Amino acid sequence: MVEPEPEQMACGAGQRLGAPETLGISTLDPGHRPPAMPPGRHVTIRVRMLDDTEEVFDISQKASGKVLFDLVCSHMNLIEGDYFGLEFQNHQKLMVWLDHIKPIIKQLRRPKHTILRFAVKFFPPDHAQLLEELTRYLFALQVKQDLSCGRLTCNDTSAALMVSHIIQSEIGDFEESQCRSHLLNNSYIPDQMPLIDKIMEFHSKNIGQTPSESDYQLLEVARRLEMYGIRLHPAKDREGTGLSLAVAHTGVLVFQGQTKINAFNWSKVRKLSFKRKRFLIKLRPDLNSSYQDTLEFLMASRDCCKVFWKICVEYHAFFRLFEEPKPKPKPVLFTRGSSFRFSGRTQKQVIDYVKESEFKKIPFDRKHSRVQHNSRLSPLPSPRHHEVPTDVNSSPRTTRTSPAHQSNGHEDRTALILMFFLRPAGVLPDSPLPSAHSGHGMVNGQRSLDLCSPFIDGRQPSPLTSPLLNDACSVRTDDEDEVRRKRYPTDKAYFIAKELLTTERTYVKDLEVITVSFQNAVGQDESTPDSLKNILQSTFEPLHKFHTGFLREVEQRLALWEGRSNAHIKGDYQRIGDVMLKNLQALKPLAVNLHKQSDVLLELEKVCRASQKLERLCRDFELQKVCYIPLNVFILRPLHRLTCYKQILERLCKHYPGTHGDFRDCRAALADVSEVVEQLQGSLIKLENFQKLLELKKDLIGIDNLFVPGREFIRLGCLSKLSGKGLQQRMFFLFNDVILYTSRGMTASNQFKVHGQLSLHGMTIRESEDEWGVPHAFTLVGQKQSVVVAASSLTEMGKWMTDIKAAIEMAKTSNGPSCDLLTDSVRDNKCPEDSAVDVESEDDMTASNTALEKPVPHRGNTMVHVCWHRNTSVSMVDFRVAVENQLSGNLLRKFKNSNGWQKLWVVFTNFSLFFYKSHQDDYPLASLPLLGYSVTVPSESENIHKDYVFKLHFKSHVYYFRTESEYSFERWMEVIRSATVPSGQARVLNSKESHPL
């Protein structure tokens, strides 16, 4: 991300909304500077802003509409400008949007006498998708205008509530005489006088609310209104009845007066077109619908039809497409219909762009046209892209609030606590979160059932953003803490034993997820069969009881080990082998419980298949913050824990000399645990494969029978598939008999829709980079079809080709499964992503072929989604290595631009870091998926003058973590690397080199 030079920033201070001069940010070009002006005669153009001020821009007549629009956004330093547009009245007295592609001289007949209005053009379904405070402020100004002119109609209560939020942002906290005088002198809604008392009542409840919070609450009320963002276009039906047409993010709407009487979702619309005065909506065939195939509406003129058709094209492209549609090649001889197309970034591109931006924001002034700016409301700095809005996590160091809010210590503490629980959002990534007053929130990228309510359309923030943990929520360390830590034993055996302690604490907490949380959830449901309750209780409660006692003994031993000054009085307690030997021998009678893990998985799957209610209960439980990884992974934890014991004992035996007093006990304990691990290894591999198939079943739509005897999962990840529309991002799933390719649209569900399958029987694979001119491309040649795909890097291509070749060889000699995985609906609709979408003809606007699925609550942070966003892949071997390298412990964390270190309890598992305030917390407060990150040690130029520090970085995200010892440093580096280094490619890496994950 390019940042303005400091000298330029100082001299051209870009004050948002009304700066006389600014370096600015272009919303359509990545250069972040005002667009280049084409040569030619210049004209002066006036633009009326949303705060009713007018700005003058000097621009070439030959310049396109995009150049002018970029200048306006640059002037305000507006990043999310794609939601807005410039509106003006053309020579036919129709309000139209400035076309970004056409030259200005062809759109404005008298540019000197035309005033363009800067206004909101695209209204998203949820204002939480607006990532910047300035953008939400501009939306709030638009709502204020719509209320004032009567366009946003609503009942008296909603109107009074919205006005209360507006005046809270303008005059601050409620004071009766001031509020009444202000309402008498300013009109915010038509016929305001009868509602003044109700407005004042609502205003009195907003005390302590900052201007940013007021904007957010205003939009929270407005977005629920039926007329929010609606611009009516008069029309008539075939019978001549007066109606109005409108377009929204969902599709085309039909109104009679102010009441919506019909809606045609984009998924149901096959084509939009117009012929003269007739506006035509062609629907997809639906046997259950009484509507005709084609609906016809009569508008005032052909130009009215075209104006509405254009905005429909733009709404469809902005909310439904992943990227800006490419222009059609111009016909050689003659043209038919309009060549208009949407120009600009789609909503997905806007969100992705802001997500990855790392420039410094400039504070903006909140200007209001009808009132004197209140001196108490100082300019609020806009939060950086990875911060939640100031209404949730306003830090006293970064945001200035009104005195009343600053004095409210309870609300400040609540905001700081809530900030710990909230992640930056997004389908999309990094969308802001509601305030503490609204009762909404996301935990660890998921819905919390007891704290949070669902986002609009069931969308969830992306799980791939950085963890948001504020300094105020963690313990800062100082020199005294450092001295105290150095008094601990320095023997490596102590740190190995301490790893046993820290990981055992996490393991006991994981057992409690099953024995307490999940058993309570299923136990309270009357439909839960006794067979499931009994097997859960008999399997996990004895294990939980045993490991609770084991943990207590380890804690006591470590406490004595650390107090070495009196160790000679109580005995030699600087050892751990005797504790492990005693408890591992006591664990042998519980071996039958370890063998029952497969029975638990099978029973849980059986009851979920038999009862939709129980299936929904399990799905809802997985959305709770306590269930931070897939439920089935918790069930397999006892088997994975044995492997961890084995590794710890191996390190102790390797460290101790043969004459050490603890060596004999450690070797005996290692022999015991190795015997149990060897007995369970075969069944563990099968269980891990079964668990992975269960997890993939929840992530995929359009498959019939994923569970087939003999089917094995091998690899999942992102590849680009070559189709008629070019390279399209697809998610591929490789099994030992078939390859599935899928896509994920911007729908209410986070699941992936299967588009096709390729059988491995008879398949060949070849490199195709030279053949197609696409980097890292290879071709999968099947018996029925061939598919050309491209990997994101040479390393990724090598992983895929190696695994696919090995799977093809196995398929030649095995009698594994070969059944068809696809449902009938997928077989009947082959490769919908390959069909062209025509939205540029006057007579045709084809909607997206991806229909909206029924919204299903679903986890958004599984490895499938991480691989999708990070454009990488993970194999089953990687999953197995990852579960063997779990780690827990206290780390000191520092952001790239922060000063102090913060103490956090960190758990590494499932390719992610999970952050807690302490090991006693029941659920993580944030998470950081590590796929795509690199781990290094800081360079001298980074001025990290501390020992045992490692650095995680991905694009512009940089985090420093500090451990307490050399051993801990090496272990954290080792597990973070080993979790994603493919089997067979593992190598010994110098701690100074970069380790891509």
Range ranked top by mean pLDDT from 6-20, 274-288, 481-495: 274-288
**Which CATH number do you get for residue 252?**
2.30.29.30
Q: pLDDT class for 1, splitting at 50, 70, 90?
A: very low
Mean pLDDT of 964-988: 72
Query: Which residue would you say has higher pLDDT here, 471 or 724?
Result: 724
Contacts of 416 (CB under 8 A, 6+ apart): 393, 470, 472, 473
Q: Does 730 lie in the same domain as 587?
A: no
Q: pLDDT class for 165, splitting at 50, 70, 90?
A: very high
Per-residue HEC secondary structure of 370-396 comes to CCCCCCCCCCECCCCCCCCCHHHHCCC
Query: Which residue would you say has higher pLDDT here, 108 or 816?
Result: 108
Q: pLDDT class for 63, splitting at 50, 70, 90?
A: confident
**E-assigned strand segments in 834-910:** 873-875, 887-895, 902-909
Q: Does 516 lie in the same domain as 574?
A: yes
Residue 935 lies in a domain: yes
Give the pLDDT of residue 825.
53
Q: Which of 119, 625, 251, 224 is nearest to 434 (CA)?
A: 224
Helices (H), 31-132: 65-76
Q: Does 505 lie in the same domain as 584?
A: yes
Structure tokens of 353? Answer: 């762009």
d(CA 430, CA 357): 11
Strand, coil or helix: what is 93?
Answer: coil
> Looking at the 3D structure of the chain, how many domains does it have?
6
Last residue of a domain, one of 223, 241, 257: 223
Q: Does 640 lie in the same domain as 527?
A: yes
Instruction: Say if CB 420 and CB 475 are below 8 A apart.
Output: no
- Digit-coded pLDDT (tens) for 773-807: 788 999 999 888 889 999 988 999 999 999 999 99
- Digit-coded pLDDT (tens) for 361-397: 556 667 653 433 333 333 333 333 333 333 333 333 3
Which range has the worst mean pLDDT, 95-99, 180-184, 321-325, 480-484?
480-484
Q: Does 114 lie in the same domain as 90?
A: yes
Query: Which residue would you say has higher pLDDT here, 283 or 461?
Result: 283
Report CA-CA distances (Å) from 261 to 245, 264, 272: 10, 11, 19
d(CA 733, CA 735): 7
**Which CATH number do you get for residue 134?**
1.20.80.10
Structure tokens of 433? Answer: 């979160």
Q: pLDDT class for 287, splitting at 50, 70, 90?
A: low
Q: Is the pLDDT of residue 255 over 60?
A: yes
Walk across the sheet containing 269-275 and list its strands: 259-265, 251-256, 242-248, 233-236, 294-298, 278-283, 269-275
Q: Does 678 lie in the same domain as 582?
A: yes
Instruction: Say if CB 383 and CB 390 are below 8 A apart.
Output: yes
Parent domain of 935: 886-990
Residue 582 lies in a domain: yes
Residue 660 lies in a domain: yes
Share of the chain above pLDDT 70, in %: 72
Residue 792 lies in a domain: yes
Last residue of a domain, one of 684, 699, 714: 699
Q: Does 707 lie in the same domain as 695?
A: no
Q: pLDDT class for 769, splitting at 50, 70, 90?
A: confident
Instruction: Say if CB 840 and CB 732 are below 8 A apart.
Output: no
Chain-centre distance for alpha carbon 250: 21
Q: pLDDT class for 30, splitting at 50, 70, 90?
A: very low
Residue 253 lies in a domain: yes
Q: Is the pLDDT of residue 456 over 50?
A: no
Q: Does 714 lie in the same domain as 686?
A: no
b/e 82-92 (16+ beta carbons within 10 angstroms → b) = bbbbbbbeeee
Q: Does 138 lie in the same domain as 109?
A: no
Q: Does 759 lie in the same domain as 684?
A: no
Name residue, tokens 């390019």.
2
Residue 733 lies in a domain: yes
- Digit-coded pLDDT (tens) for 606-642: 888 888 888 888 888 988 889 998 898 999 999 999 9
d(CA 951, CA 938): 6
Instruction: Say if CB 951 and CB 935 are below 8 A apart.
Output: yes
- Digit-coded pLDDT (tens) for 846-894: 333 333 334 445 555 678 888 888 888 999 988 888 887 899 999 999 8
Residue 330 lies in a domain: no
Range ranked top by mean pLDDT from 322-326, 376-380, 413-417: 322-326
Residue 944 lies in a domain: yes
Name residue, tokens 């065939």.
285
Query: Would you state the torsion angle of the CA atoms of residues 591, 596, 601, 602, taken in this order, to the nearest 10 degrees?
Result: 160
Q: Does 676 lie in the same domain as 606?
A: yes
Phi and psi at 778, nearest 5°, equal -150, 155
Give the pLDDT of residue 623.
86
Q: Does 682 lie in the same domain as 797?
A: no
Structure tokens of 174? Answer: 């409620």
Give the pLDDT of residue 880.
86
Q: pLDDT class for 826, splitting at 50, 70, 90?
A: low
Last residue of a domain, one of 122, 138, 166: 122
Q: Which of 752, 834, 745 is nearest to 267 (CA)?
A: 745
